[in-house]
Structure 1
Amino acid sequence: MLRYVVLRQDYEFKHHIYMNYFTLCTCLLLIVISAKELHSILCYVCDNCPKITNSTKVQSNCRRCLLNYPINTTHPGTVKRSCVQSCPLVTWSAFRKQKMVCCKKDLCNSVDKQTHTNLFFVSALSVFVIAYSFISDKFCLKID
């Protein structure tokens, strides 16, 4: 009986240490994630700047960078790059008129607006070409 009590106490002690270790690791992980989220980044800031130049201003202590440009390419509007604390919510009517790219890396709002506009088209075309070549090779008749 004494041996059972000693083994049980030993088990409870180890279990208590493991739980404390798990709690400590969880707290450290949350601190690291929070610190990364609170880390400030650099963003380009300008009101009408389709291209980044040497004179484009850079702002520090940003939480997010924002790139804003109109979707209508026949009547190009202003391209705006800004530093924001959080990504804005976009209404449906605004979504149809302009493109917003919100990112959280240093100077990530530097990309040209055309790369975002054409990225979906190029990706879809690539998938279509690969799928078509696979299907056409599989069902192609070979004539000797």
Structure 2
Amino acid sequence: MEPFKDRKLEVGQKVRVYVNLHKQGMFSIVDMKTGLVCCYARNCLLKDATFYVSESGKDKVRKTKQKLVHAWVRGIFQGADLELQEYDTEYQYNPYFHEGFTNSDGYIITEASFAYMSNKKVYVRRESNDKITE
């Protein structure tokens, strides 16, 4: 994990995580209270995750064909730079082909008990309270 401007990040902190467009293979982790980037990490584990895609941001990316941060995962920070545990399903987001975070069967996920993010993908262990739609 690479801290940013000596900002603190602790387990239990509410955060928003997105793929960093300038640091190859890294995620930006933002404190929900301040709205400021706390650190960068190669991977991240969140509890009580919710998946968000800005419709206007997605439309702008599709129209201009330029990258723009408009999709992220919110949740409670559990750790970073961790080894991948056992997960059932892999989700990813591509604004040119998907409306949200989608698995290989085309299902969109909006909430998950735990989400592990690595290599521009999100891995989810299926739980009964996860919200997945076609």
**Which protein has the bigger strand share?**
2
Q: Which has the higher contact order (CA 8 A, sep 6+)?
A: 2
Specify the TM-score bucket, using the shorter chain as the normaliser: under 0.3
Q: Which has the larger radius of gyration?
A: 1
**Which protein has the bigger helix share?**
1
TM-score, normalised with respect to structure 2: 0.28
